[in-house]
């Protein structure tokens, strides 16, 4: 049979495989053919793996033997370029790590490999995950498959574009301030940022260690849930991995539909498109009509989250990227002196956005300024976290738009960092507070004659992912029934 990649989900794929409509090899070959056909224009991938077909054949053999198969056996997946796969280059979209080949698997890769997924290749990303458009990659920009004049979002833009162009069934991204949810929204997909500590960061090239989380990008909430459930475990190799008993905590369960809170504080700022506001209000009205209770809530400190983020994140960036000095591994430029070698290596090896954030981070951590900036930001971070904790005493889920606008034009914001940073206004608070957040498609708006998707973001208390999946799947069904 001809494989219709556009209609596949994980459940549908497993049904086809069990009924022998096609083999895992045929499925992998179909995705590789789709990549070959479309990726020359989109540039979702930096590299496809030459052993993808042999991986698929191994799964086919296991299925023929009758080996017990997981729900992910044979599922083709794309992996962001900052997640380590043993023997594969992982460059984090940077010249600095262009020659680096991983010596071990990230924990999430081990889990997925054991589950029998097929790794198709590594996807493009903003350099060291610093960006909201996938334009700052050393390898060049990625385009949005729905409108190639526009960005796919970032920093996991390649991972989102790969799924949107049917170049992978699902993908992995990382989210530091919205880098899974924003590209998912721009590409009409589902994206999950798990609770901080729910998914191991072992084997993730660090950007900002107190904010980074690995998560899935998929077509449906169910697919994202399957990936999350496979990847979430307590990993002793990651000191920030949460213990199992902590993960048992979840949103308060009631015998009725969850109560949804809406933080109007975050909706009052400038820079939010009118049609995004309308789409969000329309979505809330639909939920009300379906029996959900929607309440306005106060998050007094949440409007400061973006400012806090752009102090804490660069500070951690400057510390994490200090290891790339041209001496131990990665890109290296020689100089007449040791200092000259450092300057040449870091000046050439890092792109403009990475250098900007290193400088900002070094400044806020410098003597005389660390109290005024970094420590004050850390205090406000605690207040933002407390805001969410208080809000979740009254509501089960908090909803906002995922982004303040649909996908913007390539080149539109790259020369205006402040404008680019504002695209994270709704996603950053979840990272600051460490809570889980899910972006689900909520409709579309028309720009230049093209229908562009929008996303609705649901946030839950720490380790409340299951509440997000339940609400997200319900929202999907409601919208599907009304189309």
- The pLDDT-based confidence of 227 (bands split at 50, 70, 90) is very high
> 39 near 165, Cβ under 8 Å?
yes
Look at the chain and report how many structural domains it folds into.
1
> Which of 399, 159, 439 shows the shortest CA–CA distance to 283?
399
Q: Give the span between the Cα atoms of 412 and 406, in whole angstroms.
A: 13
pTM of the model: 0.96
Residue 452: beta bridge partners? Answer: 445
- Enter the tokens of residue 276: 């995004």
pLDDT at 278 over 80: yes
pLDDT band at 13 (very low <50, low <70, confident <90, very high): very high
pLDDT tens string 414-441 = 988 888 998 999 999 999 999 999 999 9
CATH number at 273 reads 3.90.1300.10
Domain with 195, as residue range(s), is: 1-483
pLDDT digit string (tens) for 345-371?
999 999 999 999 999 999 999 988 999
Q: What is the pLDDT of residue 328?
A: 78
Contacts 24+ apart (CB under 8 A), 330-337: 330/96, 330/97, 330/98, 330/99, 330/100, 331/95, 331/96, 331/97, 331/98, 331/99
Cα(129)–Cα(93) distance, rounded to whole angstroms? 8
> Which residues on neighbouring strands pair with residue 104, listed in sequence order?
none
pLDDT at 251: 42
Q: SS3 for 355-386, per residue?
A: HHHHHHHHHHCCCCCCHHHHHHHHHHHHHHHH
pLDDT (0 to 100) of residue 252:
45
In the prediction, which pLDDT does 248 show?
Answer: 61
Structure tokens belonging to residue 86: 């043993």
Cβ atoms of 205 and 128 within 8 Å: the answer is yes
Q: Which band of pLDDT confidence, cut at 50, 70 and 90, is reported for residue 410?
A: very high
* Chain Cα centroid distance, residue 169: 15
Task: Please report where in the chains the tokens 């609400």 appear, as a residue.
Answer: 471
pLDDT of 245 strictly over 70: no
**Residue 154: its pLDDT value, please?**
96
Contact call for residues 400 and 262 (beta carbons, < 8 A): yes
Please tell me the distance from the alpha carbon of residue 392 to that of residue 288, in angstroms, as a whole number.
Answer: 19
Confidence of residue 269 (pLDDT cuts 50, 70, 90): confident
Q: Looking at the predicted structure, is the pLDDT value of residue 229 above 60?
A: yes
d(CA 153, CA 411): 12
Of 246 and 295, more confident: 295
Sign of CA dihedral 425, 428, 432, 434: positive
Q: What is the pLDDT of residues 159-184, one digit of tens each?
A: 999 999 999 999 999 999 999 999 99
Count of residues for the chain?
483
Question: Has residue 128 got a pLDDT over 70?
Answer: yes
Instruction: Just list the catalytic residues.
Output: 80, 155, 179
pLDDT score, position 250: 52
Terminal C-alpha separation, the chain: 29
Q: Residue range 386-390: average pLDDT?
A: 97
Integer Cα distance of 372 and 375 in angstroms: 7
Question: What is the average pLDDT score of the chain?
Answer: 95
């Amino acid at each position: 049979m001809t494989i219709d990649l556009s209609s596949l989900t994980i459940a549908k794929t497993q049904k086809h495989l069990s009924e022998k409509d096609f083999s895992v090899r045929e499925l992998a070959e179909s995705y590789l053919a789709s990549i070959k056909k479309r990726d020359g224009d989109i540039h979702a991938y930096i590299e496809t793996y030459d052993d993808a077909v042999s991986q698929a054949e191994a799964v086919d053999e296991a299925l023929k033997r009758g080996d017990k198969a997981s729900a992910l056996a044979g599922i083709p997946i794309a992996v962001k370029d900052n997640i380590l796969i043993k023997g594969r280059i992982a460059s984090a979209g940077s010249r600095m790590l262009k020659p680096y080949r991983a010596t071990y698997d990230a924990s999430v890769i081990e889990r997925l490999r054991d589950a029998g997924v097929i790794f198709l290749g590594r996807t493009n990303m903003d350099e060291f995950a610093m960006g909201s458009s996938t334009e700052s990659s050393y390898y060049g920009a990625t385009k949005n498959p729905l409108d190639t004049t526009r960005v796919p979002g970032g920093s996991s833009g390649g991972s989102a574009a790969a799924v949107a162009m049917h170049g992978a069934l699902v993908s992995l991204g990382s989210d530091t301030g919205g880098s899974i949810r924003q590209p998912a929204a721009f590409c009409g997909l589902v994206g999950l940022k798990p609770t901080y500590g729910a998914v191991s960061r072992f084997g993730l090239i660090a950007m900002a260690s107190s904010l980074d989380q690995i998560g899935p990008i998929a077509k449906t909430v169910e697919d994202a849930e399957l990936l999350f459930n496979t990847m979430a475990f307590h990993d002793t190799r990651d000191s920030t991995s949460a213990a199992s008993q902590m993960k048992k905590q979840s949103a308060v369960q009631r015998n009725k539909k969850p109560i949804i809170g809406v933080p109007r504080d975050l909706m009052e700022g400038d820079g939010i498109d009118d049609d995004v506001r309308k789409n969000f209000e329309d979505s809330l009205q639909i939920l009300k009509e379906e029996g959900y209770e929607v309440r306005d809530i106060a998050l007094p400190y949440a409007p400061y989250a973006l400012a806090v983020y752009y102090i804490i994140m660069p500070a951690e960036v400057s510390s994490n990227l200090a290891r790339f000095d041209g001496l131990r591994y990665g890109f290296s430029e020689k100089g007449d002196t040791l200092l000259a070698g450092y300057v040449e290596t870091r000046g050439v090896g890092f792109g403009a956005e990475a250098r900007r954030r290193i400088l900002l981070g070094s400044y806020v951590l410098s003597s005389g300024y660390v109290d005024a900036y970094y420590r004050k930001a850390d205090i406000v971070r605690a207040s933002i976290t407390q805001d969410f904790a208080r809000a979740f005493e009254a509501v089960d889920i908090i909803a906002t738009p995922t982004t303040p606008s649909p996908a913007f034009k390539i080149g539109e914001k790259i020369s205006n960092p402040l404008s680019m940073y504002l695209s994270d206004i709704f996603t950053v608070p979840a990272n600051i507070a460490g809570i889980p957040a899910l972006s689900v498609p909520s409709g579309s708006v028309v720009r230049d004659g093209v229908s562009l998707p929008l996303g609705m973001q649901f946030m839950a208390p720490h380790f409340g992912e299951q509440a997000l999946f339940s609400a997200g799947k319900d929202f999907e069904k409601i919208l599907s029934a009304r189309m």
